[in-house]
Amino acid sequence: MWFGAGPFPDVDASVRVAAFRWLRTQVDLHGDSLPWSVLSQGFDFDGRRVPLLGQQGIFKPAVLPEIPLSIRTSHDGPYPDEVTPDGSFHYCYRGTDPSHRDNRGLRMAWREMTPLIYFFGVAPGRYEAIWPVFVVGDDPARLVFTVVADDARFAEVAASESPSGIGAREAEGRRAYVTAAVRVRLHQRRFRERVLLAYREECTLCRLRHRGLLDAAHIIPDRDPHGEPLVKNGLSLCKIHHAAFDHQLIGVRPDYIVEVHPRVLKEEDGPMLRHGLQGMHNTSLHLPRAKADHPDRERLEERYRKFRGAA
């Protein structure tokens, strides 16, 4: 698909708007977790290829004159980028020289209030795309920029509006709210990606391998003090079995044997009931290869007691 220039004030704004539109299309195709191969290939803009990220965390494609297009945090990268409790991101400088061209580029994005894309690593080679984001602070002593997110519905307006316009000032409260929501989403996305990776992207009950139909289910809910976002507190489940697990229609014993609610076993219905639910009774989970990723038996025992109480 071609994403060419539009009715925007300059090449910089046109490229950013094209990138935002292209990202929306990729999320529709691939889901929220986007592969490196797609992002590094990018899109065509007036006959020029525009990748959205590169090997360096602060990335400016050749088509843009000065200001970077994106910033990136790897899931296990060398820089301690933070999602802070105050409702913002701390993004580390490239290196320790505040005058490095990449750091100067982000400083210019701050002065001009230019919208960027933040690629946040949720698993090896997979990134959550957050856009638009804005640099709102610079701390040379700590070698970090402060970054906030905004609602994607305002991305195209932000790419073309005056940085001194009243809209930018009024956006502060909205951006704090959106950034807080993004923090929660990233937390959930990283948990999902780690669990699906451990379970080889298949349902631990039925071995369904369609990624778009898989969830990472918490054994102990994340609202509970023991509901940590750890692989051993998760199960890779297809959406049917995730719903059944959450509604206490399916339980998992600490020895990894599946039980189906007695009421469900007595019901008569179509093939989904017979094969999708009743057929899971007394089967074993298909476990991750790494023993360290196996479901925690104590957490399973706690969850199983609730299932038995419902049964």
Residue in 266, 300, 265, 294 with CA at minimum distance from that of residue 282? 265
DSSP class of residue 296 equals P
Provide the residue-wise pLDDT of the chain in tens; the chain has 311 residues: 334 444 445 899 999 999 999 999 999 998 888 999 999 999 999 999 999 999 999 999 999 999 999 999 987 655 455 666 666 889 999 999 999 999 999 999 999 999 999 999 988 889 999 999 999 999 999 999 999 999 888 777 766 664 444 455 567 778 878 888 888 888 888 899 899 999 999 999 999 999 889 999 999 988 887 778 899 999 999 999 999 999 999 999 999 999 999 999 999 888 889 999 999 999 999 999 999 999 999 999 999 999 998 76
- Cα 247 to Cα 184: distance, rounded to the nearest angstrom: 24
- What are the tens digits of pLDDT across the range 90-108? 999 999 999 999 999 999 9
Give the residue extent of every domain in the chain.
Answer: 11-196, 202-310
pTM for this prediction: 0.74
Beta bridge partners of 252: 258
* Torsions phi, psi for 278 (to 5 deg): -60, -35
- Give me the DSSP letters along 17-67: HHHHHHHHHHHHHH-SEEEHHHHHH-EEETTEEE-S--SSSEE--TTSSSS
- What are the tens digits of pLDDT across the range 203-212? 999 999 998 8
Q: What is the dihedral of CA 24, 29, 32, 35, to 10 degrees?
A: -110
Length of the chain: 311
